Structure 1
Amino acid sequence: MKLKGDRPYSDPEKAARRIMEHARAFEPIQDGRIYIEKINRPMLDEDKATPAEYWAGLQHAIGKGWLEYHESGTFVRMSQAGKDLFA
């Protein structure tokens, strides 16, 4: 049985910050677009976050105004507030 301490991304704030690190690592394409798979693949495969942890972190980042989520679900854009996290 895994305990909460074994799941660092069970905290949406930590998951959101890790998502922002992945978003920052990707060179945005046209109009600052970051394909969503450039964030979710490393979170799920490399960081071993669960889909629920990933989604909670993404929603947290959107709620904080760090990311703008496109209605198509295919990409996000990093807002100025998101860029300021790394300043």
Structure 2
Amino acid sequence: IQSPKIIISASGMLSGGRILHHLKCFGPNPKNTILITGYQAVGTRGARLLNHETRLKIHGEMVDIRAQIIELTSTSAHADYEEILE
């Protein structure tokens, strides 16, 4: 039985690393939420999820993503205009 959890994982555009294992394991469950923060380049898994694609190729296998996808645009790894001027 899987208990509720929050996983914070790197790989900003869902291109590699542990996030792929998390997507493969937790992405198919519609009870889960994937929160995407930051910029997603065109053609990346992150951008495809934000464009409502429901199947991603992960480790050579097509995975159905049924989790809710939410984009949080208020965070970024880059400084904004005011921060640069300071």
When Rg is computed on C-alpha atoms for both structures, the one with the higher figure is 2
- Structure whose residues are more often helix by fraction: 1
- Structure whose residues are more often strand by fraction: 2
